[in-house]
Amino acid sequence: MSLVEQRRREHHGVSEAVRNRLREAVFGTQDGLISTLGALTGIAAGTQNAEAVVVAGFVIIAVESLSMAAGSYLSSKSQREYLERLLREEEAEIANDPEGERQEIWEMYKTRGYTDEETAIIAKRLMSDPKLLLEDMAHKELGILPGSLEEPLGNALVMGTTYVIGGLIPVLPYLFLPMWTAMPISIIGTLLALFLFGGLKGRVVKQVWWRSGLEMLFIAGVAALVGFLIGRAADLWITHHLPGTTPSLTF
């Protein structure tokens, strides 16, 4: 293998690994930050008890991280199994109907503007190597890259781990600070973490880091605000319709 080919494969290997994990990391971190912050802020406002907030925070992180990891594993596994089925079907078509595959190659490359001579060379090369033919047909016909299918276990580990990391950020202030200080620091720290993580994501995908940070901060911040307002409205409705109850979310 030439040095150029080796570097190309290393580069694409890293790119595929990053792409396959980035979605889970963004989802896990963002959800850990926002869902934990929303729940803890409501509990803190309602109970004014730091111990209750911390216990609730760790319970939420433990339960939700396991739930998110399991969901990631099952969804990734289902997706992989579906794509593997398509690959098996394509492989069977190649074995059982080589002339039909040859005709598909001609139609595919002629449609893309290749000349008859160029298409004939490509078809001859592909038909001489079933593995190469499967890769080419899977990519161009099915949109699948056989060597880069997602790893369910890896996705689950990334999802669960990043949820725990994100969830700990809103909790930590309540471990070390008095309630009246911990709540605003928890909120500000979570928003800052969202901006920084969004900036890191921007660096990974080669975007302007601060724009990526602001995008994540805005979207996640709006989600957190809407969630809080819905909770506040529900709290007021319960208070209004159930005599003897008092609002839990008070500031």
Rounded to 5 degrees, φ, ψ at 177 are -125, 155
Q: Which residue has the higher pLDDT, 213 or 237?
A: 213
More confident residue, 43 or 188: 188
59-80: per-residue pLDDT in tens?
Answer: 999 999 999 999 999 999 999 9
* 71-74: long-range contacts, CB 8 A cutoff, minimum separation 24: 71/159, 72/24, 72/27, 72/28, 72/152, 72/155, 72/156, 72/158, 72/159, 72/160, 73/152, 73/153, 73/155, 73/156, 74/152
What's the mean pLDDT in 99-118?
89
Q: Which residue has the higher pLDDT, 141 or 114?
A: 114
Neighbours of 101 (CB within 10 A): 23
Tell me what percent of the residues of the chain surpass a pLDDT of 70. Answer: 84
pLDDT higher than 60, residue 250: no
Q: What is the pLDDT of residue 233?
A: 72
What pLDDT does residue 4 have? 42
Check: CB of residue 21 under 8 Å from CB of residue 153: no
Q: Does residue 186 contact residue 40 with C-beta atoms inside 8 Å?
A: yes
End-to-end CA distance of the chain: 67
Residue 138, C-beta contacts closer than 8 angstroms, at least 6 positions apart: 86, 87, 90, 144, 145, 146
Cα–Cα dist 214/220, whole Å:
10
Is there a contact between 53 and 40 (Cβ–Cβ < 8 Å)? yes
Lowest mean pLDDT among 120-124, 202-206, 231-235: 231-235
SS3 category, 250: coil
> Nearest 5 degrees, angle CA 219-CA 167-CA 21?
70
State yes or no: pLDDT of 7 exceeds 70. no
**SS3 state at 230:** helix
Torsion sign over Cα 56, 62, 68, 70: negative
* pLDDT for the residue 1: 45
Residue 56 DSSP class:
H
User: For all residues of the chain together, what is the average pLDDT?
Assistant: 83
Distant-in-sequence, close-in-space partners of 238: CB < 8 Å, separation ≥ 6: 245
- Flag whether pLDDT at 165 surpasses 90: yes
In the numeric block, which tokens belong to residue 199? 């900036």
